[in-house]
Structures are given as structure tokens and as C-alpha cells.
């Protein structure tokens, strides 16, 4: 029997009003402000921004409050917002070699020019909870050391290393794929994969990166360089005849360097995986670079035997807005589908019992 699903309107309206109340919580506790989220939960903001694929810290912070801190819900809100805006154009490629460096480390070259700059890192902390933060005590100002502005070339450009490290491929391209404008078709070019990975779910990419380290598609990685800082964004405006500088964005870049035993065409060398993410998002950038490298398996003539090497598997499941949409839709009313399945099962059960004999399932006979 078909049952129309209707009549939830009042329940839905009241549920949303209840949500607003629970989101606000105890009215005796001051309400959060956007600036507090941006200033004090900056890495959550960066994650909402990166996976929301929209650089706008205020919007990401608002999304976090609205989502009660649920990151995937916040990412969903950011993605939904971007669909309401017109596209002005495509920027010139940002130059991470001209970055205003806030952190830069290499696990492969101790004495890189410019040095190892730890920046504001969790590394080497003891991971002990600090009650003084809860007390809201004063925080020391950072130590400063006189320095001169200097260009900090990327390690991978600096050290071709006897030709033992793969160069960037820079060739004229007919088109640059844009997954926000075209359906996804496999096999994907590397530009499309990088776009998908850049906004992919950190947890999913982290687990896949980890799987390659544990033997599911070994890629022998080393961190050539991680750098975090601000870069300039420029947009060509044809009627001006020059590129307009729009301002700066903060990004995290990871250059993973991977031992490669070579093949018929390519001699043994270090190949590379690339990670680049909006904001300060080091774990995500590392995971992305591991996945970028493992997804180059086919290009480099490696066997594709493991999940992290299978681009259709990785890219089809890396987007947490798509994932959550399909998983969460299961909780919406499926009354009709379920009635259909129930009817079918009753028939099957009856046939089964008829074949098995009358007293096989006496309790199911109803």
C-alpha cells in the first residue's frame, strides 16, 4: 500500500528551533563570536575552508558555529554557499617559491638554505593537557630574532641532486580540468586528481596514506619539504591589461620524495608526490602528497594492486560531502522501499519454507 509522506512540517520547524536552542546552549555562557573562532580555533577553520574548497575564514568560522562544531556539516555549509556566487575567473598559478614562510622543515636535508624553521608547531610538545589554558592565563609574546627578507626556494627546485630527483613536468596543456564544472570521468588527469585531493577528506586520505606506509602499495616516502605561509593571488583582468593582485592566502605545501626503482623508460630515481591545501593543514598536505604519489602508479608503470593506487576508488570516495550525503540519506523516510522489500522477503520466505518442509521454521509461519 502506498502511504504519502506528509505532515512533518510542524515537527521539522520545532526540531530546527530546538536545534537553535541547543546550539546556543546555556544562555548564561557568553555566545561565541566569529573572531574568537578565527583566532582561537584556527586549524578547525582552516579544515572547514580547505575541504569546503572555499578560501574565506569568516565564512568557515560561521559555518563551524552553525554546525555546532561538526566539521563535515560545516564543510557542507561552505560548499552550499559557494554555489550561490558567480565565478569571476581563474587566478594565475600561485608561486609557493615566493611564500612568506611561517614554517618550513625538511626531513631529508638538514642544512637547507634558509634553515629549518619550526614555526607554530605541535611537534615536540609532550601532548599533556595544560590546565593553565582552561584558566585563561596570560600568554607570553613570541621571541623574535632579527632576520632579513629572503627568497626561500622550494627544496625540490634547489636540489636537483645529480638528476636523481624527478623534475616538475611543465608542458603546454590544452585545458586545466575543473571538477566543479565538469562530470568526473576516469581515468583522471593528474590536475583533476590534485583538485579532488586538495578538498578531499583529511581522515580518508590520512588512512590511505598510512596504508601505503604499512605495505598496501609501498612508496618509500620521505618529507622533502613542508612549508606553510602566505602567497599572493593574482587575477588577469583583460580590460586592464595587467594582473590584479587580490591579496594573500595562507597555504600548506608538502613535497614528498619517494624511492623509485625505475623501469624500461625511467632510470632509478626519487619520484615525488605533491600536497597543497588552504590554510595551515600539515597532516592533510602530507596525506595528500602520499595519495598523489600512489595514484601515479599507472603513469610510472607500477602494478596497481592496492586501494591507495586505485584512482577510481580513492577519488570517488574522498569527498566527504558526497560521502555524507549518500550515507546520511539512509535515515530519510524509505517507507515505500522498505514496504516493497518486506513484501518480497515474505514471498521468498514462504517459498523457502515450502521447499524446506512444513516444520522447518514453525515460528515463522505466523
Partner 1 sequence: MQPAEANPRQEAMAVLSHAAAGRLAELWSAWPDKPAFHKVRGPETGLVMVRARAGGGGNPFNLGEATVTRATVRLESGEVGHAYCLGRDGDKAVTSALFDALFQRDAATVEAQVLAPLRAELEAADDRRRDETAATKVDFFTMVRGDD
Taking CB under 8 A as the criterion, which residues in 283-342 touch partner 1? none
Answer for which of 7, 30, 131, 142 binds partner 1 (CB under 8 A) is 142
The SS3 call for residue 48 is helix
Answer for which of 88, 127, 129, 185 binds partner 1 (CB under 8 A) is 88
Answer for which of 12, 85, 129, 330 binds partner 1 (CB under 8 A) is 85
Interface of this chain with partner 1, residues 195 to 214, rule: CB under 8 A: 195, 198-199
Give yes or no for residue 280 binding partner 1 (CB under 8 A). Answer: no
Residue 226: how many other CB atoms lie within 10 Å = 23
Q: How far is the CB of 215 from partner 1 (least distance, A)?
A: 26
Answer for which of 103, 250, 283, 284 binds partner 1 (CB under 8 A) is 103
Residue 110: how many other CB atoms lie within 10 Å = 8
Answer for which of 233, 306, 307, 316 binds partner 1 (CB under 8 A) is 233
CB 84 within 8 A of CB 56: no
Distance separating alpha carbons of residues 74 and 49, to the nearest angstrom: 9
Q: Give me the half-sphere count of Cα atoms (radius 13 Å) on the Cβ side of residue 243.
A: 14
Answer for which of 18, 19, 176, 356 binds partner 1 (CB under 8 A) is 176
Distance separating alpha carbons of residues 112 and 115, to the nearest angstrom: 5
DSSP state of 94: P
Q: Is the peptide bond before 187 cis (omega within 30 degrees of 0)?
A: yes
Count residues near partner 1 (CB under 8 A): 79
Q: How far is the CB of 219 from partner 1 (least distance, A)?
A: 16
Q: How far is the CB of 233 from partner 1 (least distance, A)?
A: 6
Q: How far is the CB of 112 from partner 1 (least distance, A)?
A: 11
Answer for which of 235, 313, 317, 353 binds partner 1 (CB under 8 A) is 235
Question: Of the listed pieces 11-19, 108-116, 317-325, 356-364, which binds partner 1 according to CB under 8 A?
Answer: 108-116
Distance separating alpha carbons of residues 266 and 258, to the nearest angstrom: 14
Query: Who contacts 276 (Cβ-Cβ below 8 Å, separation ≥6)?
Result: 96, 194, 198, 251, 252, 253, 254, 285, 288
Distance separating alpha carbons of residues 94 and 317, to the nearest angstrom: 28
Distance separating alpha carbons of residues 277 and 296, to the nearest angstrom: 19
Interface of this chain with partner 1, residues 1 to 60, rule: CB under 8 A: 50, 53-56, 58-59
Nearer to partner 1, 23 or 190 (CB): 190
Q: Is the peptide bond before 12 cis (omega within 30 degrees of 0)?
A: no
CB 260 within 8 A of CB 270: yes
Nearer to partner 1, 191 or 353 (CB): 191
Nearer to partner 1, 49 or 67 (CB): 49
Amino acid at each position: 500500500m502506498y502511504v504519502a509522506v506528509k505532515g512533518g512540517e510542524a515537527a521539522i520547524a520545532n526540531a530546527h528551533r530546538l536545534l537553535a536552542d541547543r546550539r546556543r546552549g546555556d544562555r548564561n555562557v557568553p555566545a561565541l563570536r566569529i573572531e574568537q573562532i578565527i583566532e582561537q580555533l584556527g586549524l578547525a577553520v582552516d579544515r572547514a575552508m580547505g575541504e569546503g574548497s572555499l578560501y574565506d575564514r569568516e565564512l568557515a568560522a560561521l559555518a563551524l558555529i552553525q554546525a555546532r562544531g561538526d566539521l563535515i556539516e560545516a564543510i557542507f555549509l561552505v560548499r552550499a554557499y559557494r554555489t550561490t556566487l558567480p565565478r569571476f575567473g581563474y587566478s594565475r598559478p600561485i608561486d609557493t617559491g615566493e611564500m612568506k614562510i611561517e614554517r618550513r622543515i625538511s626531513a631529508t636535508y638538514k642544512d637547507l638554505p634558509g634553515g629549518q624553521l619550526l614555526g607554530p608547531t605541535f611537534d615536540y610538545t609532550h601532548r599533556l593537557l595544560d590546565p593553565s589554558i582552561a584558566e585563561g592565563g596570560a600568554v607570553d609574546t613570541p621571541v623574535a630574532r632579527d632576520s632579513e627578507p629572503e627568497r626561500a626556494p622550494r627544496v625540490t627546485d634547489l636540489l636537483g641532486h645529480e638528476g636523481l630527483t624527478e623534475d616538475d613536468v611543465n608542458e603546454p596543456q590544452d585545458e586545466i580540468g575543473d571538477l566543479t564544472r565538469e562530470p568526473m570521468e576516469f581515468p583522471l588527469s593528474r590536475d583533476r586528481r590534485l583538485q579532488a585531493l586538495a578538498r578531499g577528506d583529511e581522515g580518508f586520505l590520512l588512512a590511505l596514506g598510512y596504508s601505503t606506509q604499512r605495505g598496501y602499495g609501498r612508496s618509500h616516502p620521505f618529507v622533502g619539504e613542508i612549508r606553510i605561509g602566505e602567497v599572493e593571488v593574482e587575477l588577469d583582468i583583460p580590460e586592464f591589461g595587467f594582473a590584479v593582485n587580490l591579496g594573500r592566502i595562507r597555504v600548506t605545501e608538502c613535497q614528498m620524495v619517494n624511492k623509485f626503482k625505475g623501469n624500461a623508460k625511467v632510470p632509478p630515481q626519487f619520484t615525488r608526490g605533491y600536497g597543497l591545501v588552504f590554510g595551515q593543514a600539515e597532516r592533510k598536505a602530507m596525506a595528500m602528497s602520499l595519495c598523489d604519489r600512489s595514484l601515479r602508479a599507472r603513469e610510472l608503470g607500477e602494478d596497481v594492486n592496492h586501494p591507495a593506487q586505485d584512482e577510481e576508488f580513492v577519488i570517488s570516495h574522498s569527498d566527504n560531502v558526497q560521502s555524507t550525503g549518500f550515507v546520511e540519506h539512509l535515515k530519510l523516510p524509505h517507507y515505500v522501499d522498505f514496504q516493497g522489500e518486506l513484501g518480497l522477503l515474505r514471498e521468498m520466505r514462504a517459498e523457502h519454507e515450502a521447499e524446506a518442509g512444513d516444520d522447518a521454521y514453525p515460528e515463522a509461519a505466523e
